[in-house]
Amino acid sequence: MNKKQIAVCAIVVATMGYLYLQPVKGIVKSEQAGARPAAATATDASAKPQAQLTVASVSAAAKQALDAEQVKQIQDAEAQLNSASLAAKPSAQRALAALWDAAVQPAPAAFYYQEIARQTNTFEDWVNAGNRFNEAAKRSQDPNEQVALSAQATEAFQNATKLKPEDLEAKTGLGVAMVNGGGMPMQGITLLLEVVKADPKNHSALLNLGMFAMKSGQYDKAVGRFKTMIAIKEELEPYFYLAESYKQLGQKQEAIAAYEKCKQLIGDAAEASRIDEFIKELKK
């Protein structure tokens, strides 16, 4: 059993709610129209209520998904952080971030990397924080929480790009964060397009452009993005989103074929049965 693939399947299934509940109105037909002034297209992030998130609140929520041994490891590490000297705190924070990463809980890890980055101001620490804030926003089903997490990601990647303005990972992360909650969707899409222009095989930029195309109802464009990814490397996540895009376009046979490929890639009977349910719906 490939645990990573199963985890990806669970995440992408959950992400479908994120896609359909959070349409990005500011990027409809943005790729055809080209960049327009941000004021004309961007959703004002300040107009959206943001959840008041702290490392304590996200940690408490994340612990509910852990087993007893994991909770004890986290609590022991938290106690070490609380008793650590000022000089020892970054090391204790890294230890906690690593534990949260191992537990696949990006939100608390993000806050710890953010605290570290504010002390070190290194590119790597800001990127670590930003990537985890973006991942937490993607996994959240709470719209207000998504906005708050994306705003934190925007700040982290802005700091990263000040240190390395042309770094493609940082530009991609900033683009994603801007679209999701930074109040600048058109500017975010422009950044992602710049990344793809510089690196036509960039996995993260292609994936997010495809997902944003789905969110704005441009399923034909989404199909193109995911097919490009699959031509580079066959992976579960783009195949799943490709199937969903075909389904929304009414292309049932193409959707079924993509879902069947998902089943092959996941290699787990229990998770494959979830895909079978999607296929059955299309065959009705």
pLDDT digit string, tens, across residues 184-242 = 899 999 999 999 999 999 999 999 999 999 999 999 999 999 999 999 999 999 999 99
Q: Is the pLDDT of residue 44 over 60?
A: no
Locate the domains of the chain by residue range: 1-23+217-284, 39-202
- Residue 56's pLDDT is 96
Residue 33 binned pLDDT confidence (cut-offs 50, 70, 90): very low
Question: Class of the 1-23+217-284 domain?
Answer: mainly alpha
The residue assigned the tokens 């696949």 is 104
pLDDT more than 90, % of the chain: 74
- Residue 27's pLDDT is 52
- Residue 31's pLDDT is 46
Residue 45 binned pLDDT confidence (cut-offs 50, 70, 90): very low
Q: Is the pLDDT of residue 2 over 50?
A: no
**Are the CB atoms for 141 and 16 separated by under 8 Å?**
no
Question: Across all residues in the chain, what is the average pLDDT?
Answer: 86
Is domain 39-202 given the CATH code 1.25.40.10 in the classification?
A: yes
Q: Does the predicted model carry a pTM greater than 0.75?
A: yes
Q: Is the pLDDT of residue 46 over 60?
A: no
Q: Is the pLDDT of residue 37 over 50?
A: no
Higher pLDDT, 132 or 6: 132
Q: Is the pLDDT of residue 179 over 70?
A: yes
Whether 39-202 and 1-23+217-284 are alike in CATH topology: the answer is yes
pLDDT digit string, tens, across residues 52-92 = 899 999 999 999 999 999 999 999 999 999 999 999 999 99
Higher pLDDT, 283 or 46: 283
Residue 39 binned pLDDT confidence (cut-offs 50, 70, 90): very low
- Residue 9's pLDDT is 54
